[in-house]
Amino acid sequence: MRLLQEISRLHDLLSDIALLMVVPASEQVSLADAKARLSEVVEGIETEHRRVVITKHGRPTVVVLAVEDLEALEDTLDMLSDPDAMADLREAATARRTGKTIDLTKEEARVRWSRG
């Protein structure tokens, strides 16, 4: 049962990583330009998952990104820094490679996971 839970966690982790991987390269904007176009900058960040680096005197100072992207990044870092979670992920990956898993729909996985 724990293996199924870890496979589901792995799927969620990989989904978060995939989300971060589709985030376009950072756009650099001067502080003055960011102030003048703040609504436009925020709209692009929110709808297109862009990252914007705001520069001050030509030097990168801060990065602005969507809350959803930040949360996904934090979740990924938490998972990657947890030795037990990483061991579980490796175990689940090995089980998948060796065919020691079963295929479930998302709903079947949720039902099994909720029974815990």
Q: What is the pLDDT of residue 102?
A: 77
Residues 107 and 88 reside in one and the same domain: yes
Per-residue confidence band for 53, with pLDDT thresholds at 50, 70 and 90:
very high
Neighbours of 10 (CB within 10 A): 19
- For the stretch 72-95, pLDDT in tens is 889 888 888 888 888 888 888 888
Q: What is the pLDDT of residue 93?
A: 84
Residues 17 and 28 reside in one and the same domain: no
Q: What is the CATH number of the domain that holds 55?
A: 3.40.1620.10
CA 28/CA 23 separation, integer angstroms: 14
- For the stretch 17-40, pLDDT in tens is 544 444 455 789 999 999 999 999
Q: What is the pLDDT of residue 38?
A: 93
Nearest CA to 16 among 95, 65, 82, 69? 69
Print the domain residue range for 110.
Answer: 1-21+69-116
Q: What is the pLDDT of residue 21?
A: 44
